[in-house]
Structure 1
Amino acid sequence: MSDLPKSARVVIIGGGVVGASCLYHLAKAGWSDCVLLEKNELTAGSTWHAAGNIPTFSSSWSIMNMQRYSTELYRRLGDEVDYPMNYHVTGSVRLGHSKERMLEFERVVGMGRYQGMALEMLAPEDIKERYPFVETHDLAGGMYDPYDGDIDPAQLTQALAKGARDMGARIIRFCPATGARRDGDEWVIATPKGDIRCEYVVNAAGYYAREVGKWFGRDLPMMVMSHQYMLFDTVPEVEAWSKENGRKLPLLRDVDSSYYLRQEKNGFNLGPYERNCKAHWITQDDPFPQDFSFQLFPDDLERIEWHINDAMARVPLLEKAPLQKNINGPIPYTPDGNPLIGPMPGVPNAFEACVFTFGICQAGGAGKVLAEWVTEGQTEWDMWSCDPRRFTGFCDEDYCIAKGMEVYGHEYAMHFPHHAWPAGRDKKLSPIHAQTSALGGVFGAYNGWERPNWYARPGDDTSEEGTQTWRREGPWFDAVRAECEAVRDAAGILDLPGFSRFRLSGAGAAAWLDGLITGRLPAQGRVGLGYFADDKGRIVTEMSIARLAEDELLLITAATAQWHDYEWLARDLPSGLSLTDETDDWTCQILTGPKSRDILAGVCDGDLSLPWLSWQTAQIAGAEVVLFRVSFAGELGWEIHSRPGDTAAVFDAVWKAGQPHGLRPFGMFALNSLRIEKGYRAWKGDLSTDYTVLQGGLGRFVDWSKPAFRGKAALVAEKAAGPSKRFVTLVVEAGDYDPPYMATLWQGDTVVGETTSGYWGHRVGACVALGMVRADLAEPGTALEIEIFGTRHRAIVQEDKPLWDPANARLRG
């Protein structure tokens, strides 16, 4: 049937593989009253020309989860929906040219093992056994993924569509959505066949997603790249090998040369990601088309000539292969290369599942995640890596183009922990950016804000190449140690623009907020931490809460959490209450260390005897500031909040007053070291919906006497049963490398947990990891091992108190 129904519970806009997967998973969740609208035929966008590779490889825990789920779904989907599918699970070999690349492979193998996948490391001599036609003389080794392969994108889409239809969902082809409007609590989607009303709408429009987003007042952070792959005809040796072995060659990825090479029938498919890449539909001479269904760009082989020659040297058989055709089609990119899956920022009952660079391999998992967002309001895995709210308003078109091209040109690049990508920088500058730059600041971007990561000294290497290492020690290490020592022994000042801050007020504001957080609100004049749980008791976010008056509260949270946390508050805000985003109205500096009171006393008229966790207004350099007596560094200190226009004068006064006391600037790397020694959690690392409040070691922030708060029932049940995991601090004999996020914890041959943070603690002189372990192993003194880049290192569970200043005497001083 092709008649357009008058209404549906959910309308999905876009009939590519992702839209079809969303429809399938919604129907599987029992929401069969759903309609998918496609302007042409299914797959008419990026799906029809996609190469169809299905890797599980990712250095992101959530993306790996999503891709792993896709492979599991695709292996059974044809039988489940009774639709023929060409899915070749060939395995893949990734080639590594350097020790750094091999360390990345080791990390991913460890993550895959934890997710139940048997990924393997390969020595150079092992590679030939997997792929006999490859030259290995200059390789350090490789990695084998037995779950990798390729699939026919059209068949996959049709299989998902058939499965959805069989469960009662509807697909209306040749019926473009042409607009959307809000009518009461419903969406009205316009089409040439009439309007359709719905409760929820999903933008799954692929590279048209930005145009669709405009109907909702949303400017999607995306751009479009052209990606080419070449199809080569039969090579007799490949044909003979396949006949003899009864299977296709593994997919080959030379990630350091930036291309994949796979067997296509009895020939090859070569797909490069070139640095001299090309963006489309960004100029008046190349405008965005009204319809690009089943179309391609002209061939541009000169752009990928280097990669063709390199691939032919790597696999000499490729030289014999007759070129059959070249595919050059559009692929959308976000500024970080991850898709948009989740709530549409600022728009009620609207969701996004779009801008997929690797849509075929991620579609299965994306459909699952999107269906969970719509039907449950939360997802099984923490999916911040793909949440549309991770990009805020600074992502203009120029930024999206610059970052999209950077990501494409470095598609297979390693993401080193101290490296900052250079494109699209300086979007938001602190009022004292010039001063911190003059002091040697080396910057990183945090929600667009440039913050100093560390302060280079004369002779320090500040080149981009100098930070491309997994090692703990690099050009920054000695400088960061000196910064930490200054904070420990005298005082340090950190420029911290971009804190997200919201003012909540109105009669009943305190009572309403009290029903959201797990603990208690601070008294007037005081500051405290508030933890927000979802209905399953999992950690949604952490905010600092300052009680300004009985029913007026200031909430401060991470820079990157701005849209996420604002929506968490605004979504259910009762009428009569006011919630104002004041993020751009203030900026912040952290002054901390044992001499910080003496420094402030020389420039400030505030009462510096007020206790820890208090706030006050004061004057510095003739400007009104707000002083919070808190310190994420774990020393005596204050956050100095000032208006942007006053900040330079405030900084200059504090800096001048601090010089006789040994005041030095410090950066985000030092802050990470300082906070981890105190066991302070970081947002979307240690604090995420992958863990409950009790698993996260935050039981002291739960007020069990409160009659109700969100997530209480789940936490009460968990408390009675006992958490399955517990948060721990570990001291690690870590060698040259700190534990990365999601490094595996072992006891003997058993996986017992994972790290959520790891860094060198300069005050305690040790590598420190925060993580989650099986509850029975959280006892102090328990000896475990952490797998760091393939090597296990001894790690000892510490007492449930900070390693540095366990009694908080320095904080309270």
Structure 2
Amino acid sequence: MKTHVKALVIGGGAVGTSIAYHLAKAGWQDVMLLERDELTSGSTWHAAGLLPYFNMSYATTWIHDHSIKLYKTLEQETGLDAGFFVVGNLRMAQTKARMDEYMLYASTAETVGVPFEWMTPAQIKERWPLVRTDDLEGAIYHPTDGYINPADVTMAMAKGARQRGVTIERKWQVDGYDWTGSEWRVTITKMVEKGGNLVPSEEQQVITAEHVVTATGNHAQRTARLLGLKIPAIPVEHQFIVTEPDPALVEWRKSNEQHPVLRDADAKWYVREERGGWILGPYERGAPARFPYGVPDSFRADLFPLDLDRIEEEYMSMIHRIPSSEEVGLKDDFNGPICYTPDGNPLIGPAPGLRNMWLAEGFSFGITAAGGAGHYLAQLMVEGEAEIDMASLDPKRFGDWMTTDYAVVKNEEAYEHVYILHHPDEERPAARPLRTSPAYDRQKEKGAQFGVVNGWERPNYYGPVDAPESFDHDARSFQRGGWWEYAAAEAKAIREGVGLIDATAFTKHMVTGPGAAAFLDWFTTNKLPKVGRINLTYALTDAGTTRTEYTIVRLAEDRFYLVSAGAWSAYDADFLRKAVEDREPEFGRIDVQDVTTQWGVFAIAGPRSREVLNRLVRDAEPSTVLSNKRFPWLSCREIELGMVPVRALRVAYTGELGWELHHPIEMQNHLWDRLMEAGAPRGMKLVGARAQNWLRQEKSYRAFGTELGRDATPLEAGLDRFVDLSKEFHGKAAMEGIGIRSKCVTLLIDGPRDADPWGREALYAGGEKVGRLTSGGWSAAFGKSIGMGYVRPDLATPGTKLKLRMFRELWDAEVCEDSPYDPTNATIRSDG
């Protein structure tokens, strides 16, 4: 056995073999894969092998698309039949709301180039007469996917990996990881059969590896313990049943091709043919998480007892949809562990806090994702960045606040929600509330309806406090939800009066020390601000694309306060700390402290915001404290509001006159009460995140995770003014080498009267797809829909007419000037 490799992949399921295959395909010559048992002996062996395109995530859709295309090429490359049956995928809808969901999903599919067709109930019945259609609204059909034999495709990728020089070793278990500062020392133990169990022997080896990838599936919790990490990948029971042959199906198949994979999302199941019978796979309520602290040594390629009572409703609905199945007996059953994560998406990318350690865990649709996950992870490892933005799948999207109990509850919820209507404004209820700011109860009393960002409860909007029982705060829609009118009123209040927003969830870091200034000057694209001033700036990836957006406040020559997106606290912290570790020997001592939970933040904005704050300011000359002379735009001052010391930043994400009030979090309730008292005579309105999102689009303020990400540079995002090309900074050369492939624009949209874009829609010019939206919403200032997105550079000129796809129709959209609301920033600089 080799004792040193460039990359060591742990786990021999579909995901692990794909990673090894793609690393070798990308040019790494010395790759080894270790499997503690046999290849495919984890969840791969009992997977149903479905390859569904359907996914609301842009990155995951790319991953699934790559898998489906790759699997069709494996037999030609390896000589092994991957067992791919390209029968198509028919996703049926019983309700108009479900068809609306499919139309929204189709927006993402369209931007990726995934083929699909729309079908009426009559067309379904004519083509597949065994399917009952009298209660259907319609369906979306993918002709190019289907199902595959999980073991066959895994073995094909394993052979492809071996052909490219990968070494695959079975019956070796990892028992320890040790980072030496330049490579990993991995202690492995030979596993042997004993009484039907797999047990460790006394034989051990140490392998050194420059890189390690864990793809350990259901064993992710053991991996987490060995690495000292939190990995919220815990399996949930998934059961499916196989029927005896259905005579009606057998007869129909004598002169017809296979049925497509059938999915009745409203009934919560999938069905496909299997040797003249049917496989039914339900996603029922009540499926329990298993092995939260690790898989028992005695559990190998084992299954759990079937719980037929739990899936009775889904079984009966299959009989309703395929009446010929009623008299067919059950032939086989499977109930095995499938790994999930709290949001249902896998964890793909660098491990937090560790060097050259890569995670590929939590694949609930592992066969569908395996090929693409290996491809894009290999790009991350070999090239430094993938061609798509992988941030939404990064393992660091869940912070250290997460616990095992949280993962269990959320993973069970994610399983149950596989076929729940995926409203774009959904807020899933499990494990809530968990992280709350002190003012949470006060906000709730005022009608706050909360969403979650990085575990924090954050007001999305404020509904009526005295609403009748018939009012549904949870009314959601693929058009305008029940919350829309309240968010519209909040946006109008900011533009015309004054509003108060809770922004406590912002990520906040202190960066101090003798080397802080030189480091941040190298780390970010913009000039550093002077003491007491603020700059917006960007940190880049090695590939020159946007890694993080920061608001930098310079408190002293060697003391900086960094504010970044609330959803990305662990993600930003890990990137910042690793960069400091790398450069501290060059720049001098640099201290980094995450102070997110020490500081609350209220944002007050609107033409009357200064009037409200003037009632609270304590100063020798209180009437001038907030004037442009003493407190200009893009500056920071330590002020007193009543009894609360406040670090006030004169910035406003809404684009109006306003301040961010960063305050000691233990004083938040006192400050809230004083602001409410001072704001009442001025008609101050409480404002949530949804209105703020609309307002920032009127100012063309890019948001991280939508317009800003690792697939575009700040120059492509149109942020040239925040990039100082006269200095050297991390990623500069790579950024300049990319050039301008696409350009970020703001569009005003003449869309449907009852709906706004969500930021997933395809853009067209002359019938050709030319870009996509990344954000969308309603503009109170212009009285129409608004959106931001990326188009070909030649179409980024203001006045360019485009078309936007919504609900299967094309709507007029026009590229407008950047910051269409108040392009000269007169209101935000106002001294009136």
The structural deviation recorded for 1:461 is: 7.5
Partners of 1:51 and 1:477 lie apart in 2 by: 41
The one-letter code sitting in structure 1 at the alignment partner of 2:475 is T
The structural deviation recorded for 1:183 is: 2.5
Aligned to 1:118: 115
Aligned to 2:804: 786
Partners of 2:367 and 2:699 lie apart in 1 by: 43
Q: Retained in 2: the 8 A contact 1:268–1:321?
A: no
- State yes or no: 1:669 paired with 2:690: yes
The one-letter code sitting in structure 1 at the alignment partner of 2:563 is I
Query: CA 1:335–1:463 in 2, change beyond 3 Å: closer, same or farther?
Result: farther
Aligned to 2:731: 711
Partners of 2:103 and 2:670 lie apart in 1 by: 49
Aligned to 1:425: 432
Partners of 2:297 and 2:364 lie apart in 1 by: 21
For 1:264-303, list aligned pairs within 5 A.
264-282=274-292, 288-303=295-310
Q: Retained in 2: the 8 A contact 1:104–1:789?
A: no
Query: CA 1:463–1:84 in 2, change beyond 3 Å: closer, same or farther?
Result: farther
Aligned to 2:719: 698
Aligned to 2:194: none
The one-letter code sitting in structure 2 at the alignment partner of 1:162 is K
- State yes or no: 1:399 paired with 2:426: no
The structural deviation recorded for 1:237 is: 2.9
- State yes or no: 1:631 paired with 2:652: yes
Q: Retained in 1: the 8 A contact 2:218–2:295?
A: no
Among 776, 783, 786, which residue is 1:765 paired with?
Answer: 783
Partners of 1:403 and 1:716 lie apart in 2 by: 42
Q: What SS does structure 1 have at the residue aligned with 2:486?
A: helix
Structure 1: tracts of 5 or more residues without a match: none
Query: CA 1:282–1:197 in 2, change beyond 3 Å: closer, same or farther?
Result: closer
Q: Retained in 2: the 8 A contact 1:522–1:528?
A: yes
The structural deviation recorded for 1:741 is: 2.2
Cα deviation per residue 1:154-176 (whole Å; 9 max; x = unaligned)? 11111111111111111110111
The structural deviation recorded for 1:614 is: 0.2
Query: CA 1:798–1:178 in 2, change beyond 3 Å: closer, same or farther?
Result: same
Q: What SS does structure 2 have at the residue aligned with 1:176?
A: strand
Partners of 1:625 and 1:390 lie apart in 2 by: 30
For 1:146-295, list aligned pairs within 5 A.
146-192=143-189, 193-245=204-256, 247-282=257-292, 288-295=295-302
- State yes or no: 1:452 paired with 2:463: no
Aligned to 1:138: 135
The one-letter code sitting in structure 2 at the alignment partner of 1:586 is W
Q: Retained in 1: the 8 A contact 2:103–2:808?
A: yes
Q: Retained in 1: the 8 A contact 2:219–2:295?
A: no
Query: CA 1:631–1:462 in 2, change beyond 3 Å: closer, same or farther?
Result: farther
- State yes or no: 1:600 paired with 2:600: no
The one-letter code sitting in structure 2 at the alignment partner of 1:549 is A
Aligned to 1:55: 52
The structural deviation recorded for 1:366 is: 0.7
Partners of 1:263 and 1:774 lie apart in 2 by: 44
Partners of 2:335 and 2:130 lie apart in 1 by: 27
TM superposition score normalised by structure 1: 0.96
The structural deviation recorded for 1:745 is: 0.6
Q: Retained in 2: the 8 A contact 1:494–1:667?
A: yes
The structural deviation recorded for 1:470 is: 0.9
TM superposition score normalised by structure 2: 0.94
Among 777, 801, 804, which residue is 2:795 paired with?
Answer: 777
The one-letter code sitting in structure 2 at the alignment partner of 1:237 is A
Among 798, 815, 819, which residue is 1:797 paired with?
Answer: 815
Among 755, 770, 784, which residue is 1:737 paired with?
Answer: 755
Aligned to 1:71: 68
Cα deviation per residue 1:19-41 (whole Å; 9 max; x = unaligned)? 11111111111113122111111
The structural deviation recorded for 1:620 is: 2.1
Q: Retained in 1: the 8 A contact 2:388–2:710?
A: yes
Aligned to 2:9: 12
Cα deviation per residue 1:120-147 (whole Å; 9 max; x = unaligned)? 0111111124422100001100011012
Q: Which 10-residue stretch deviates more, 356-365 or 382-391? A: 382-391
Partners of 2:206 and 2:468 lie apart in 1 by: 63
Aligned to 2:679: 658
- State yes or no: 1:746 paired with 2:746: no
Query: CA 1:502–1:490 in 2, change beyond 3 Å: closer, same or farther?
Result: same
The structural deviation recorded for 1:311 is: 0.3
Structure 2: tracts of 5 or more residues without a match: 190-203, 620-624
Q: Retained in 2: the 8 A contact 1:250–1:262?
A: yes
The one-letter code sitting in structure 2 at the alignment partner of 1:601 is N
- State yes or no: 1:388 paired with 2:399: no
Query: CA 1:781–1:460 in 2, change beyond 3 Å: closer, same or farther?
Result: farther
Q: Retained in 2: the 8 A contact 1:179–1:212?
A: no
The structural deviation recorded for 1:86 is: 1.3
- State yes or no: 1:341 paired with 2:360: no
Cα deviation per residue 1:252-301 (whole Å; 9 max; x = unaligned)? 00011110000112211110000132222359xxx841242110001111
Q: Retained in 2: the 8 A contact 1:107–1:790?
A: no
Query: CA 1:377–1:718 in 2, change beyond 3 Å: closer, same or farther?
Result: closer
Partners of 1:522 and 1:44 lie apart in 2 by: 56
Aligned to 2:745: 728
Q: Retained in 2: the 8 A contact 1:500–1:559?
A: yes
Partners of 1:303 and 1:207 lie apart in 2 by: 23
Among 473, 476, 497, which residue is 1:468 paired with?
Answer: 476
Q: What SS does structure 1 have at the residue aligned with 2:144?
A: coil
Partners of 1:373 and 1:194 lie apart in 2 by: 29
Partners of 1:114 and 1:651 lie apart in 2 by: 44
The structural deviation recorded for 1:757 is: 0.7
Q: Which 10-residue stretch deviates more, 637-646 or 513-522? A: 513-522
For 1:321-332, list aligned pairs within 5 A.
321-332=328-339
Partners of 1:556 and 1:183 lie apart in 2 by: 33
Q: What SS does structure 1 have at the residue aligned with 2:172?
A: coil
Q: Retained in 2: the 8 A contact 1:341–1:369?
A: no
Q: Which 10-residue stretch deviates more, 182-191 or 202-211? A: 182-191
Q: Retained in 2: the 8 A contact 1:484–1:762?
A: yes
Partners of 1:282 and 1:711 lie apart in 2 by: 40
For 1:798-813, list aligned pairs within 5 A.
798-800=816-818, 802-813=819-830
Aligned residues: 800
For 1:611-630, list aligned pairs within 5 A.
611-630=632-651
The one-letter code sitting in structure 2 at the alignment partner of 1:748 is G
Q: What SS does structure 2 have at the residue aligned with 1:703?
A: coil
Query: CA 1:455–1:401 in 2, change beyond 3 Å: closer, same or farther?
Result: same
Q: What SS does structure 1 have at the residue aligned with 2:813?
A: strand
Query: CA 1:61–1:734 in 2, change beyond 3 Å: closer, same or farther?
Result: same
The one-letter code sitting in structure 1 at the alignment partner of 2:708 is L
The structural deviation recorded for 1:464 is: 6.6
For 1:525-674, list aligned pairs within 5 A.
525-573=532-580, 574-575=583-584, 576-605=589-618, 607-609=625-627, 610-674=631-695
Aligned to 2:420: 413
Q: Retained in 2: the 8 A contact 1:588–1:639?
A: yes
Partners of 1:89 and 1:483 lie apart in 2 by: 50
- State yes or no: 1:358 paired with 2:365: yes
Cα deviation per residue 1:303-354 (whole Å; 9 max; x = unaligned)? 1011111101100121233311110101111001111111111222111101
Q: Retained in 1: the 8 A contact 2:473–2:482?
A: no
- State yes or no: 1:91 paired with 2:88: yes
Query: CA 1:184–1:752 in 2, change beyond 3 Å: closer, same or farther?
Result: closer
Q: Retained in 1: the 8 A contact 2:618–2:642?
A: no
Aligned to 1:23: 20
Q: What SS does structure 2 have at the residue aligned with 1:515?
A: helix
Q: Which 10-residue stretch deviates more, 598-607 or 425-434? A: 598-607
Q: What SS does structure 2 have at the residue aligned with 1:605?
A: coil
The one-letter code sitting in structure 1 at the alignment partner of 2:238 is H
Aligned to 2:196: none
